[in-house]
Structures are given as structure tokens and as C-alpha cells.
Structure 1
């Protein structure tokens, strides 16, 4: 799956995919943990499993990532993003991103909320791990859509 150059990036910045996460998918290092997290979310949307694996820290990276055709990622919300205070004894930088990602699976809506940890090594940020919580949502048809469009759910991402 790919997005056209004119389409808005799935991560929600409002920029086109090539101006936003697409450049990281092409090899440019993400400058912050939040930028890496947004690009990883977009990689889930676009099913870029190789990118997800290559941005995962080697100490926690799974061997493979199975495709999940049942999951339709619909929206992302950043709750908090921060860099760790530097430690004089450490050569690495760290950071964290608390986010909520909304998805639809088998006609049911869910929210994945995670506090993700990142580390910067060799000039690149890496996803280390997170503490995910998945909650089933029961939206009403007149609720705002989870994709962030501002439209009602019944007129937007109902499919």
C-alpha cells in the first residue's frame, strides 16, 4: 500500500507523506523520538514491516512481524513526548512518547495506548519497547471520527 504525494501523512501532522514520514521510510534518520514514533505508526498504516523491524532496537527486536490484514489504523494522537535528562556517565540519549492510536478490527473500534521508550545510538533513534494497553471503544455514529478529520464517524471512517 502506498500513498500519493499529495495525500496527508497518516501520522496526523497535515504534511504530505513524502514531506513527513516518507523521508524516514526512505532512510533519512528521524530527528526525535516523536518523529520516529510517528513514522512507525505510518509504517503500520502502510504495512511497511521491514521499516518497523529496522527501526526497532536490536536488543528487543522480534525476528519477524506478521502482517495483520484485519487491522485498519485510523488515527494517532500524541499525549506527551519528552527527552530524558542526559546522564554524564552515559553515551546514549533516551526519550519517550505517550500516544494513542485508533484502529478498527473486525468491525470493532479499539484504542492502543502506549508509553514507548526510545534510545539514540550511532546517530539514530531506535524504538526499544513500550507498555501497551488496548481498549475496545463503543463509539456512537454521531461521535467525531477517530481519524482527526473533524467529521462525524458515520460520515467518515465507518467502513
Structure 2
């Protein structure tokens, strides 16, 4: 499938599911890695991850397109278009769009940074684990108000 066929497909889905035409550009973007698609608020264009189509097929991509069209139509009408907005959630459920896209195989999940630093209270021995380095002079122990010392794990 190329960009021209995707454009026609998005226009058909918009008319069939929303009853309103899609008047902007839809295209594939092979650089997308962690998302199925995205909607641009300034240009009102939609980009779709082609790897989703290759991996999961047209049914899953149609749900992604419906998700992006929910952003599109709600934004253009001045209603709540963000993921957290109740209008977005209701419209997405009404048109049977996907809330989240499936992760692609081979994509490693990001691991949270392990704790690298430890603040230790010199009075009571209370330990505070931190991912980022902090200046211990700016803080005191929350338990006894003692002086903190920075150490590595």
C-alpha cells in the first residue's frame, strides 16, 4: 500500500465512521517506532506507521486510523481531542477505534533507570535512593532533620 491508497482509505473511514470528510493529508512514516500513528494539530495531517500494517494487517491499522481521526475531528470542531478528555474517549469507543496500538515485535521495552545514588542521613542512617545526582546541602533528612551525605550505589 502506498500513500495514495492510504489517503483514499482514510477518507473512506472518515465518511463511513464519522460522517464527515477528511480534507487533509494522510501518509506513511517509516521512522515511527513506538507509535502506530500521529495527528499534527498545525497542519491537520495524519501519519501512520507502515510496520503496523505489515505486522498486524488492515484491521488493526483501521483502528489506529480511527484513533487519529478522533483527534482530527474533535480538534477541528473545538472539542476535547486529548487522550484524557471524556469526549475523545466516548467518540473512540463509539467508532471502535483502538486506545493503544500493539507493540511491534523486536522493539525492546525501555527499562527504568536503576537507582544510581544514595543519600544517607548521618544521624539516623535513613537512606534515600535517587536516579539523579542531587546536592545534599540543599536537603535534610525527612525523619530527623539530620545532615545528608551523597554516595554511589
Pair in the same fold by TM > 0.5: no
Question: Could you say which structure has the higher helix fraction?
Answer: 2
Question: Could you say which structure has the higher strand fraction?
Answer: 1
**Radius of gyration: which is bigger?**
2
TM-score scaled by length of structure 2: 0.26
TM-score scaled by length of structure 1: 0.25
